[in-house]
Amino acid sequence: MTRQEIIDFCLTFPATYEDYPFDSVANSGAWTVMRHRVNKKSFALICERKGKLCVNLKCNPFEADFLRQAFEGVTPAYHMNKVHWNTVVAGSDVSDEELKRQIQSSYDLICPKERRTK
């Protein structure tokens, strides 16, 4: 998947938007942060490291460790909490379908929960 394909996929989720908090303009070297509009939490941080397209994704700690063992293209997250975040290298042994599944999971983890009323 390309950077734009990842961004476009992230934008298919309800109430999401792309943000560039570390750069004044979007460019190929910029960090793209995908966020939820309601709580402003990020679920995907897209960047290029050492010439490779990378995506930082939030995940359950047990799943994070499993994915790191299952895929060479999944490592502890660059510049993030290593327990709750993974970096996935696009175009590695992680298929596009698996990358999309991990993005969906990351979104689900940050999505605001509905409050129960009594």
CA distances from 88 to 30, 70, 91, 96 (A): 17, 12, 9, 11
In this prediction, residue 112 has a pLDDT band, given cuts at 50, 70 and 90, of confident
Q: Give the CATH fold of the 3-110 domain.
A: Aspartate Aminotransferase, domain 1 (3.90.1150)
Q: Which two tokens stand for residue 100?
A: 């999309």
Q: What is the pLDDT of residue 26?
A: 62
Token pair 């190929």: residue: 28
Q: What is the mean pLDDT of residues 9-35?
A: 85
Q: What's the pTM?
A: 0.89
Q: Where are the domains of the chain?
A: 3-110
Q: What would the 3-class secondary structure string for 15-51 be?
A: CEEEECCCCCCCCCCCCEEEEECCCCCEEEEEEEECC
What is the chain's mean pLDDT, rounded? 91
- The helix or strand, by DSSP H or E, that contains position 54, with its residue range, turns out to be strand 52-58
Q: What is the mean pLDDT of residues 64-88?
A: 94
Whether the per-residue pLDDT at 115 is higher than 90: the answer is no
| CA-based radius of gyration for the chain | 14
Residue 27's CB is within 10 A of a number of other CB atoms, namely 8
